[in-house]
Chains A and B, each alone.
Chain A
Amino acid sequence: DAGITQSPRHKVTETGTPVTLRCHQTENHRYMYWYRQDPGHGLRLIHYSYGVKDTDKGEVSDGYSVSRSKTEDFLLTLESATSSQTSVYFCAISETRTAQYFGPGTRLLVL
């Protein structure tokens, strides 16, 4: 597996609190992605990055923000968590916008 880690792996939080998820890679890949996975929806792209400080919105970006200050780190922030953001969050990396390599995922429960 590619060198991708996600932290935390599990988190329980309350509605209205901010949450930050971290994705860290050791592959020096240019592209990084955040997805959420929900039953019946497959994987939906939240935000992606094509370089340090270069990010763009994906299909379901409302309520999420991202930052990438270093090549190896891509942070996803839920500014005010809602129950609809309960999901499994996957980070992925890609060298050439082709094959994506996924991290182990973060299970987030918003009560």
Chain B
Amino acid sequence: GQQVMQIPQYQHVQEGEDFTTYCNSSTTLSNIQWYKQRPGGHPVFLIQLVKSGEVKKQKRLTFQFGEAKKNSSLHITATQTTDVGTYFCAGPVNNNDMRFGAGTRLTVKP
């Protein structure tokens, strides 16, 4: 079936280092969304990308949507301890059925 895959599963960085998580879909996506979940919390919507090749920035976070609309990435520049959490990508595989990646769990050592 249609899947959304995400790597790496875990990433441990020193504070100040950069971080990237990658998302790949087996099919073309109409859009891709990114969420962050803090430990013990619920997922929180970060951003949606719609256009082929789209790049969006939110402060130290840069989101990209691939030209073929089958892959995406989230890059964090100079991580901080507040960036700790699990980052999920998600894409619609039909009109309403959202598929989430398994997530990348980020830990940051001060």
Q: Does A pair with B?
A: yes
Whether A104 contacts B42 by the Cβ 8 Å rule is yes
A-B contact count (CB 8 A): 55
Count of interface residues, chain A, beta-carbon cutoff 8 Å? 25
Main SS at interface, chain A:
strand
Query: Which chain A residues border B96 with CB–CB below 8 Å?
Result: 31, 48, 50, 56, 97
Query: Which chain B residues border A44 with CB–CB below 8 Å?
Result: 100
In order of increasing CB-CB distance, the 4 nearest A-B pairs are A42-B102, A43-B100, A102-B42, A99-B45
In whole angstroms, how far apart are the Cα atoms of A46 and B79 in the complex? 34
Contact of B85 with A by CB under 8 A: no
User: Could you name 19 residue pairs across A and B whose Cβ atoms are closer than 8 Å?
Assistant: A33-B98, A35-B100, A42-B6, A42-B103, A43-B90, A43-B100, A50-B96, A56-B97, A58-B97, A59-B1, A90-B42, A98-B48, A99-B45, A99-B48, A100-B45, A101-B45, A102-B42, A102-B44, A105-B42
B interface residues with partner A (beta carbon < 8 Å):
1, 6, 9, 31, 33, 35, 42-45, 48, 88, 90, 92, 95-103
Closest to B47 in A: A99
Whether B98 contacts A45 by the Cβ 8 Å rule is yes
Query: Which chain A residues border B90 with CB–CB below 8 Å?
Result: 43, 100
A interface residues with partner B (beta carbon < 8 Å):
31, 33, 35, 40-45, 48, 50, 56, 58-59, 90, 92, 97-105
Whether A102 contacts B48 by the Cβ 8 Å rule is no
In whole angstroms, how far apart are the Cα atoms of A99 and B35 in the complex? 9
